[in-house]
Amino acid sequence: MSEKVKQAMEYCAKYGQEHLIPYMRPCYSEESLKFATQILQHDLRLIRDRYTVLRDQEENLCMPPEIFDLLYADTETKQGLFQSGLSAIKSGKVAAVTMAGGQGTRLGHFGPKGTYELPFDPIQSFFEIQSQSLIELRDQAHMEIPWLIMTSQENYADTKEYFEQKRYFGYGRDKIRFFTQSMIPVVDMDGKILVHHREILLSPNGNGGIFSSLHTSGNLQWLKENQIRHLFICGIDNVLVKMADPLFIGFAIQNQCDIAAKSSLKKGPKEQAGVFCLRNNRIAYLEYTEINERIADATNERGEYLFGDIGIGMYVYHIDLIEQLSECPLPFHEARKCVEYSLPTGETIRPEKPNAIKFETFIFDSFSHARKVSVLRVPRNREFAPVKNMRGDDSPEDAAILYSKRKDPLL
């Protein structure tokens, strides 16, 4: 056997690449010598180390967490949670916040997403649906809770005007507070800030901006002065949202957690929704834009998705954690987008493929700052019907059907 082939075989065995050894047989052939030369050119230790890091990330960081499934809870438990939440609401300790910084572009609507009117009977906007839910809560609790609405700087005026026009949907005008989130420059693929019409291009800093914006807008102070202890926080586009759901508030209180989050079971591996996981034995969250196929497809021995609990954009945060988070920057994620910009000559460039990076923070990155995060799994057909696309999955038509059945006792 040539010295080189022998050396290559030992090298493979040392760094866990034994499966390459048979390719060097018969060990005296020209091909084997060529193959051995190739192997010796690569740093197999580096490959092993890199792979170990990746494996560790997947195996140690991403186990599925323990989740309380409402479907299997008995009536007494559910009653207990509900009463505990309702009593906190009645004693004025709860407020709701809607993260409504998004635009309705994907739905072909040029305005704040919350003002998009859904083809329901009668037609209703997302904001109207949320106000109806708060009115139902008012009927149960015999009081109106404060409702804070986070907008982007771009859609602040339109959102306020819409509420004015709709006379606040019959909800207490003095209970509704609007505030804006911060903006951040958009850069090109080389990190250079883009300009349009001699203005720096800006985009909202993501829904993780909620904490610092509550603080800078003075709302955090206001909430504290008004003895609010629990903030129900939600997105705008789920038509089955239960605003400040007493049972959910009770779940957060009884678990003594500083964040409670609702989950539902995933429809399929390609669903555009993030999943709950465990990272270093703590509950964490992987956004759908950053999940690899292995995690998305993984199933257990019963064929169920291993990472099968998706986030449905509903949280309860304790005010003390909000205060802590208001001064604690969350990491930026990047979204690659097609963004129109102009050159110093004034010429407008309309790119056809992604040319720009928008930086965004995500609300669930705050999980790592919490003492305890608890997850409540709720039945999907009762609580999750998002409207994301004009047609196909998660369309307004799908949502209309689910919305019309939301109180169907047989569902």
By the criterion CB under 6 A, which residues form the site for ligand UD1?
A: 99-102, 113, 150, 181, 204, 206-207, 235-237, 273-274, 287, 310-313, 362-363, 386, 388
Q: How far is the CB of 184 from ligand UD1 (least distance, A)?
A: 9
What sections of 91-155 are H helices per DSSP?
Answer: 126-141
Which is closer to ligand UD1, CB of 258 or CB of 365? 365
Pairwise CA distance, residues 97 & 120, whole Å: 24
Tokens of 318: 């304790």
Q: With helix as H, strand as E and coil as C, how does 229-257 read? A: CEEEEECCCECCCCCCCHHHHHHHHHHCC
Closest separation in Å from C-beta 207 to ligand UD1: 4
Residue listed under structure tokens 């994907």: 106
Residue 108 makes CB contacts below 8 A (sequence gap 6+) with: 390
Q: Please say which residue, 32 or 103, places its beta carbon nearer to ligand UD1.
A: 103
Beta bridge partners of 264: 310
Q: Closest CB to ligand UD1 among 201 and 273?
A: 273
- The nearest distance, CB 311 to ligand UD1, in angstroms, is 4
Least distance (Å) between residue 164 CB and ligand UD1: 20
- 115 vs 207, which CB is nearer to ligand UD1? 207
Residue with smaller CB distance to ligand UD1, 252 or 310: 310
Minimum Å gap between C-beta 102 and ligand UD1 is 3
Kindly state the smallest distance separating residue 158's Cβ from ligand UD1, in Å: 13
We find the least distance from the C-beta atom of residue 131 to ligand UD1, in angstroms, to be 15
Smallest gap from residue 125 Cβ to ligand UD1 (A): 13
Q: How far apart are the first and last CA of the chain?
A: 73
Give least dist CB 328 to ligand UD1, A. Answer: 18
Question: How far is residue 337's CA from residue 148's CA, in Å, rounded to a whole number?
Answer: 30
Q: Can you tell me which residue has the tokens 């018969």?
A: 26
* Pairwise CA distance, residues 210 & 180, whole Å: 9
Structure-block tokens of residue 297: 């497809």
Distances (CA, A) of 307 to 145, 159, 380, 385: 35, 36, 16, 20
Q: Of 24 and 387, which CB lies nearer to ligand UD1 in the complex structure?
A: 387
Q: 141 or 310, CB closer to ligand UD1?
A: 310
Q: Which is nearer to ligand UD1, 35 or 362 (CB)?
A: 362
Is there a contact between 151 and 112 (Cβ–Cβ < 8 Å)? Answer: yes
User: 149: Cβ–Cβ under 8 A, 6 or more apart, which residues?
Assistant: 97, 98, 100, 114, 159, 176, 177, 178, 179
CA atoms in the 13 A half-sphere facing the CB of 222: 17
- C-alpha to C-alpha distance for 232 and 331, rounded to whole angstroms: 23
Q: Which is nearer to ligand UD1, 5 or 286 (CB)?
A: 286
In this complex, which beta carbon is closest to ligand UD1, that of residue 58 or of residue 287? 287
Residue 24 CB, nearest approach to ligand UD1 (Å):
48
d(CA 272, CA 191): 27
Q: CA 275 → CA 51, 61, 71, 127, 288, distances in Å?
A: 24, 13, 19, 26, 7
Number of Cβ atoms within 10 Å of the Cβ of 209: 25
Give me the residue whose beta carbon is nearest to ligand UD1: 101
The CA–CA distances, whole Å, from 60 to 56, 65, 304 equal: 5, 12, 20
* Distance in angstroms (rounded) separating the CA atoms of residues 246 and 108: 35
Cβ atoms of 100 and 113 closer than 8 Å: yes
Residue placing its CB nearer to ligand UD1 in the complex, 9 or 286 = 286
- How near is the Cβ of 152 to ligand UD1 at its closest, in Å? 6
